[in-house]
Structure 1
Amino acid sequence: MKTVFLVTIPRVLLGLLFLVSAIDGFWWLATGNNLIHPPTSEQGLAFEAALQGSGFVWPLIKAVNLIGGASLLFNLAPAFGLVLIAPILTVIVFFHFVLNAQGIPVAIIVAVLGAMLAFAYRDRYAALFR
């Protein structure tokens, strides 16, 4: 029961979030329209436009979202999936705290879910800190 709340639920929720983000990002690449686009600030829109306009950063982020999200959702090397999405998780949190304050509750939830999984998989990361 303990692993359901500390591992399974956060893993599935983050996996779904990142998988949906990847699908939305690839949809934007194919059509120029978003399936889901939460409200954001002017600065947030400018940041997103810069990532999309770079030509390579947006597809790279969405590929990492896809691989990391699928890894978490389907429980295939989930510790590796978390490592893949950790930098993107960090950017999401800072994005909301710096550029889009209305998304701070989402940023906190994502940060807590990521921290719960990092704690749950800490034995798999131990060798990195020796």
Structure 2
Amino acid sequence: MKTLLLVTLPRILLGLLFLVSAVDGFWWLATGAHLIHPPTSARGVAFEEALQASGFFWPLLKTVNLLGALSLLGNIAPAFGLALIAPVMTVIVFFHLVINPQGIPVAVILVVLGSLLVWAYRDRYAALLR
């Protein structure tokens, strides 16, 4: 039961969040429209549009989201999948803290789920901190 609540559930929820983000991002690449688009500030929209207008960063970001999500959902090297999406999660959290405060609940969810998984996989990250 402890493993389910502290590892499996956070892994699946985080994987689903990033899978939805990847699908939405690739949908935008294909159609120019979002499947889902939560409310954001004018500065938040400008930030997202700048990432999309770069021509390379949006596809790279959504590919990383997809690979991290599949790793977490498939439970195939989930510590690696989490390491892939950790920088993305950091940007998302600061984006909501600084640019788009109405998304702070999403940031809190990412911090909680990510922290639980970092703790669960801490033995796999130990070598990075030596």
TM-score range, shorter chain: over 0.9
RMSD: 0.4
Q: Distance in 1 between matches of 2:70 and 2:59?
A: 16
* Alignment correspondent of 1:88: 88
* Alignment correspondent of 2:72: 72
* Alignment correspondent of 2:99: 99
Could you tell me how far 1:93 is from its partner in structure 2? 0.2
Aligned residues: 130
- TM-score using structure 2 length: 0.99
Q: Distance in 1 between matches of 2:42 and 2:77?
A: 37
Paired residue type of 1:119:
W
Say if 2:55 is the partner of 1:59: no
Say if 2:120 is the partner of 1:128: no
Q: Extract unaligned runs of 5+ from structure 1.
A: none
Q: Distance in 2 between matches of 1:73 and 1:115?
A: 17
Residue identity (%)? 74
Could you tell me how far 1:63 is from its partner in structure 2? 0.1
| Runs of 4+ with deviation above 3 angstroms | none
Could you tell me how far 1:74 is from its partner in structure 2? 1.1
Q: Distance in 2 between matches of 1:100 and 1:16?
A: 22
Could you tell me how far 1:120 is from its partner in structure 2? 0.3
Could you tell me how far 1:94 is from its partner in structure 2? 0.3
Q: Extract unaligned runs of 5+ from structure 2.
A: none
